[in-house]
Structure 1
């Protein structure tokens, strides 16, 4: 999965371009992802090349501590409210973008489901993905 990954918010004010490939693609069923998505999980592409990331437009932020104790800094568009990306203060080289914010969401190819111990019974995942009760070790 080569090439630049581009996307942004619903109104187009907040945009990004990230060189590929992502280091991880996953669905997360933790309670934080459930709350922020308004459904049973969030879907993420994780990149380890923050220095090569181009983010344009304004972003508003809020910080939360995940189920595993990781501090996460969520970024969203202050105009339309679309969640776009997440950064981790303890891991400054990592950025995760929401799969739905991609210009071409079909590029999202999940391999894992994390935090299945917090899964809601009505949020079923595709078969064939490796499932982890919480975040697997790095």
Structure 2
């Protein structure tokens, strides 16, 4: 039995299903991925394009990578959630944003790319305080 994954954007207007398992789950620290996510990295699961069905209104943004390929980022036209990316170097594949999956249990980062570009602030120190949920904290004026 093939594992099936599903996901959606923040507003729920875009949904998808993917027949798995993914080819690879990767964390990327390149400048483009950092700017796309607004964080220090992105995490994505690569699938064969034919194994993925996407429904909803999408928008695209394309740019040239430092390897000379064209990269296209596809996102919800309403809320802007990144849904997937595609690259002309791997034309029959797309990479779903792992954070949009309904249930990614069993999936783990297998490779990290552009580790050299990982910002210092994306490396958590042991003494960083962690909360299970949003804390009851209010900033002082």
After TM superposition, is the score higher than 0.5? yes
How far the C-alpha of 1:90 sits from its partner, in A, is: 4.0
**Residues 1:40 and 2:18 are matched in the alignment:** no
Q: TM-score, normalised by structure 1?
A: 0.82
How far the C-alpha of 1:112 sits from its partner, in A, is: 1.2
8 Å CA contact 2:11–2:78 kept in 1: the answer is: yes
Matches within 5 A, 1:112-131: 112-124=111-123
Aligned residue for 2:92? 93
Runs of 4+ displaced beyond 4 Å: none
Aligned residue pair count: 123
- 3-state SS in 2 of match to 1:106: coil
- 3-state SS in 1 of match to 2:83: strand
Question: Where does the alignment leave 5 or more consecutive residues of structure 1 unmatched?
Answer: 126-138
Q: State how far apart, in whole Å, the 2-side matches of 1:12 and 1:87 are.
A: 22
8 Å CA contact 1:99–1:108 kept in 2: the answer is: no
Question: Where does the alignment leave 5 or more consecutive residues of structure 2 unmatched?
Answer: 125-141
Aligned residue for 2:81? 82
- 3-state SS in 2 of match to 1:63: strand
